[in-house]
Amino acid sequence: MRVFHEPEPGMVAHTSASKVLSHSAANDWLHSGTREMWPAATKMTEALKKWPASEEPNETGYSLSNDDGDTIYSVFAKDNERAGQWVRGMAIFSQRPQFNLSFITDYYDWESLGHAQVIDIGSQGALSVALAKKFNNLQLIAQDGQKGRDDDIPEDLRDRVQLRVHDPFAPQSCVAADVYSLRWMFHNWSDKYCIKILQALVPALKPGAKVLVQETLMPEPGTVALWKEKNIRATDLNMAAAFNGQERTVAELRSLVTKADSGFAFQTVIEPEGSAFGILEFTWQGPVNQNTD
């Protein structure tokens, strides 16, 4: 793997690669890759043969690579050490320029919303804090299956940023908010479960409510540099092997959201140069929900 090199016989020296691995996040990322993702990838073909066209998270290469056949979520729920290693490894992405939250805070017109409530779904609060620092007009609630750490919210923002526990498949508990943000969630799930997440939002939506979907946008073949397309398609395969998820094109995401409910009206897609994500904006133009009157 050329992690080290031998500048002269009998001497082993560090390289830029070994220096990276001396950092804990990179080390955890490598361990999770070899412990979780590589075994799943080796079983992907077997899973496709056993469960063709499956959309279930427990019918994957990952499930076959674990003796108990569990989903990755179930494994992590039972094994804090593996879960912690995964979370710490994933943190390396936040350090990469293309994942910088400024692509979300700077390229969407949050100021135009006026005084608005934003629900940050599937988040430990990092995006909410970034938005609160920049826009005094926003009240934010970050929701995740496990509550984020209150200590991660700066004291001067705690009156505008709340952390709550919420299952994204359960009916949305924050009713009549102005914006519902779903960042980097859908690629973990098959269409079936993405639709369930969206349908759980519907009873909470008031007319004109905005739904922002932030995901890596799968390019059409031959439309971007080969190295970039290769990286995205490799991630796509990883999501399939571990979750039965996938990366999607703009057209696929639009179709997915409107399939969940025809009341979601597509408005625009924003693709910041250099960003790992695009932002798709939808507004709710369906029936008025009694909960939001």
Out of 14, 115, 166, 187, the active site residue is 187
Q: pLDDT below 70 — which residues of the chain?
A: 1, 293
Q: Is 187 a catalytic residue?
A: yes
Specify the pTM. 0.91
Fold for 99-292, please state it: Rossmann fold (3.40.50)
Q: What is the model's pLDDT at position 87?
A: 86
Q: What is the model's pLDDT at position 1?
A: 60
> Secondary structure of 84-107 in the HEC alphabet?
HHHHHHHHHHHHCHHHCCHHHHCC
Where are the domains positioned within the chain?
A: 24-94, 99-292
User: CB neighbours of 25 closer than 8 A, spacing ≥ 6?
Assistant: 88, 89, 91, 92, 95
- CA-wise closest residue to 209 among 160, 157, 261: 261
pLDDT tens-digit readout, 226-239: 999 999 999 999 99
d(C-alpha 194, C-alpha 254), whole Å:
12
Q: What is the model's pLDDT at position 293?
A: 65
